[in-house]
Amino acid sequence: MDDAHIEGDLTRVLYSAEDVARRVTEIAAEIDEAYRGKDLLLIGVLNGAVMVMADLSRAMKIHCEMDWMAISSYGSGTQSSGVVRILKDLNTDISGRHVLVVEDIIDTGLTLSYLISNLRSREPASLEIMTMFRKPEAQKNMVKVKYVGFDIPNEFVVGYGLDYAGHYRNLTSVGTLSPHVYS
C-alpha cells in the first residue's frame, strides 16, 4: 500500500466525491418526502455505512434517530465467508418504528437478507433499505431495496466507507483497486 496517496492505489475511479455527494443529496430528498411526519429510525450497518450515514442524514431535512448494528460477513479479503453473525446489536427497540436500514454495498445480498429477517421479527411499523452501491448478483436475491445510490459492475471496489483489509474507507472517491495491492 502506498502510504502517501491512497487514491494512487486505484486503477479506476468509478465515482468521484462530487458524484457521490450529488446522489446522496437526491436520495435524501426522496427520504424527506417519504418519511415526512413519521418517526424515522436510521439503522447503519457498521463499519462500511459510516460515511453514507453521516452524509445522508445531514442531507436530510426531516427529524430522524440513528442506531447501529455490526454484523460479520466478509473476512479481511474480498471473498464472502457466508457466515453472518451479530457483533453489535441495536440499542433501540424498533417495534412500531419506521426503520430505514442504511448500507454501504449489497453484493450477493446474503448479509442483508439475514439482517432483514432478523429485524422484521422485531415488528417495526415499516422496514426499508437504502444502499449506496449494489452489485448485479444482488438482483437475484429477493431483498427489495427502496433506495439505491449506484448499480455497479461486479468488481471489488473501495472508498467512501468500503474497505480492503480495513484500509481505504477514508477515500472520498470510489474505485477499483490496482492488482499490486492484493499481492
Catalytic residues: 107
Count Cα neighbours of 164 within 13 Å in the Cβ-side half-sphere: 22
* Least distance to ligand XMP, CB of residue 154, Å: 9
| One-letter amino acid for residue 14 of the chain | L
Instruction: Give Cα separations from 98 to 50, 90, 119, 130, 158 (angstroms).
Output: 20, 15, 12, 13, 30
Give the contact letters, 3-42, x = binds to ligand XMP (CB under 6 A), - = no.
----------------------------------------
Give the contact letters, 98-137, x = binds to ligand XMP (CB under 6 A), - = no.
------xxxxxxxxx-------------------------
* Least distance to ligand XMP, CB of residue 60, Å: 22
Alpha-carbon span 164 to 88, nearest angstrom: 21
All cell numbers assigned to 140: 437475484
Rg for the chain (alpha carbons), in Å?
16
* Least distance to ligand XMP, CB of residue 149, Å: 13
Nearer to ligand XMP, 35 or 129 (CB): 129
Give the contact letters, 66-85, x = binds to ligand XMP (CB under 6 A), - = no.
-------xx-----x-----
Instruction: Give Cα separations from 181 to 78, 114, 155, 159, 175 (angstroms).
Output: 12, 31, 15, 14, 13
Q: Residues in the site for ligand XMP, rule: CB under 6 A?
A: 48, 73-74, 80, 104-112, 156-158, 162-163
